Structure 1
């Protein structure tokens, strides 16, 4: 990344998609912080965004002291700007606080964000992810359940809409709450209840517009390992070849076929989750397991869904392939969908 150029909002978005796969992501985090310090952001209101990205990068590399410093600064920047979009930065800060053992502060921060669960669609994802990181999945389930019940009660009290929405569009924020609640309950091995069934019906309606139901993937299904990470993973844990592929070509082909299948069923906004072996190895002990445990890998993949590791799919045919090979998409992973 250039060290003296002004960074635009588009530059920051591009870095969000690529930074974790860079040769020196921590250097990028430091550069982002310096750009904020030196006034090298084309839009000064991007200060909180740049520092949040720096915090995410540092956290992914288990540099928690640096991550917390960046997160503190990001929260301060949003507060100075009176910017209500800083909620994700606060949730990220809470997640880091959990990881450094400051649980009470983390809970206080998330409790302050809790009202957003009934107001903002993405709040269910970042609040529950932070609670998951602190080993508080049961609390996440309770908060999400209460938020669902609140919205359902409001709908029932309304004279112009039914209590249960018939599709995801009419559900609004409730749809995202139901999705995250469903995920948390599945991770906790809780039995299906009527709201889990409603989540299934809404998801089927969203993905089955072509006349056939498309199975909703788990985050693990879209977890991608860059080549160096894949080779190390296969070397350290050969048995994972059954899960991710015998070689990197097969690994990419599996992902491309799954993404193509989902797109054919009407899914939009698809992304690949770029994993990091160092990130997984650092994450596993926090959950009391190791990288070979499917539940650990699933939790790690789920955490990536709320961070900067998402690669938009598909790229344009003549653009660089999503896998990072440097080749054009049309000559790299696009043909693998036909294998």
Structure 2
């Protein structure tokens, strides 16, 4: 990141999208901290955000002492203005404490204080679950998320007592409309992910999460029929896709370079929204057409392809982590270093 006299909110957005691919990510983190210390932020209210971003960069690079220092500063910066985003900084700090080892009790105490945010802030389920997972406490995340869902649905029950507040379907109105989902929607979706990772059986809340997600997908498709997805076809499979499914050219690219560039740009965009643990999904032509046949649908249907993506996401070897280190082999399987292959494609 080039040194600038003032860093704007837009600059911070750019850093989030490009820092991991920078030649010196830790230098970027230090530059962010320096901008806060020297008053080089165009908006002083961005101090907590800049420091939290520095902490995330250092954490990804396993410089946990530096990450904790930045996280401490971020929490302090948010506390000055009592910013609603302070919860994320505190959860990030707890996540780092878990990874450092020996400070698990401190991390759990921090997260326990944040637990009430689960029924208040849409992003709280994701960042609290991520922190608990870092401490190998995903079962605790399931417990907390379930209680929060029950609270919002008004379904607190005693053993053997009938449920109150109506059926799940009747209470689902609190989720909010598909185009503007509320806290309950994000609770249900995050709980669904956690339980899937724990291999827990599907229950009524999971069913509701599936129905709401399908609702949201249908509404999204009404707005845009060519929304990008994360299905990745290796070079030989992409050649088959072009030859056998020409109608998918617009969705996946007209050539191998275009396919990789489309995915790289989408991953950078997702990283810019704060998503972590990103990956593309290794797909095959036979897998996609076979899924379409079982579902009685067409491969040109975006919702069907989304269903195929969910199916293969649980398969061993289907997840291709992103991003690799600059000097590591590129995620696309070309054999070239990431910095010489797909990394520059996000800037084209």
**What TM-score, normalized by structure 1, do the two folds share?**
0.65
Assess if the C-alpha contact under 8 Å between 2:17 and 2:269 holds in 1. Answer: no
Relative to structure 1, the CA distance from residue 157 to residue 270 in structure 2 (aligned partners, 3 Å threshold; closer, same or farther) is farther
Q: What does 1:319-330 correspond to in 2, within 5 Å?
A: 324-325=344-345, 328=348
1:116-131 equivalence runs, <5 A? 116-131=117-132
Q: Structure 1: which 5+ runs fail to align?
A: 225-239, 261-268, 281-292, 302-321, 329-339
Correspondence for 1:232: none
Hey, what does 1:37 align to over in structure 2? 37
8 Å CA contact retained: 2:91, 2:111: yes
What whole-Å deviation, never above 9, does each CA across 1:234-265 have from its counterpart, x for those lacking one?
A: xxxxxx9699989xx858626848999xxxxx
1:91-140 deviations in Å (ceiling 9; x for gaps)? 11111011001111111111111000001111011111111111111000
Alignment correspondent of 1:65: 65
1:253 corresponds in structure 2 to 259
**What is the 5 A alignment of 1:1-339?**
1-101=1-101, 102-153=103-154, 157=165, 162-165=170-173, 169=177, 172-209=182-219, 210=221, 222=230, 250=256, 253=259, 256=262, 271-272=269-270, 324-325=344-345, 328=348
Are 2:91 and 2:127, in contact at CA under 8 Å, matched by a contact in 1?
yes
Q: Tell me how far 1:326 sits from its aligned partner.
A: 6.5
Separation in 2 of the partners of 1:10 and 1:197?
39
Q: 1:271 to 1:41 in 2, by over 3 A?
A: closer
8 A Cα contact 1:223 1:273, kept in partner: no
Distance 1:61 1:117, change over 3 A: same
Alpha-carbon deviation of 1:2?
Answer: 3.0
Q: Kindly tell me: are residues 52 and 257 of structure 1, through their superposed partners in 2, closer, same or farther at Cα, counting changes over 3 Å?
A: closer
Unpaired stretches in structure 2, ≥5 consecutive residues: 157-163, 240-254, 279-313, 323-341
* Residue of structure 2 equivalent to 1:318: none
Secondary structure at the aligned position of 1:199 is classed as: helix
Give the equivalent residue in structure 1 for 2:296: none
2:29 touches 2:53 (CA, 8 Å); kept in 1? yes
Contact 2:175 2:182 in 1 (8 A): no
The CA deviation at 1:323 is 5.5
- Give 1:17 shift: 1.1
Aligned equivalents of 2:34 and 2:78: distance in 1? 17
CA contact (8 A) 1:52 1:89 kept: yes
Higher relative contact order (CA 8 A, sep 6+): 1
TM-score by length of 2: 0.64
Cα distance in 1 for partners of 2:257, 2:119 equals 39
Deviations 1:208-233 (A, max 9, x none): 2358xx9x99xxx7499xxxxxxxxx
Q: 1:13 to 1:38 in 2, by over 3 A?
A: same
Within 2, Cα distance between the matches of 1:270 and 1:167?
A: 29
- CA deviation string 1:258-301 (max 9, x = no partner): 999xxxxxxxx994459xxxx99xxxxxxxxxxxx977996977
Q: Secondary structure of the equivalent of 1:208?
A: helix
Structure of larger gyration radius: 2
RMSD: 4.0
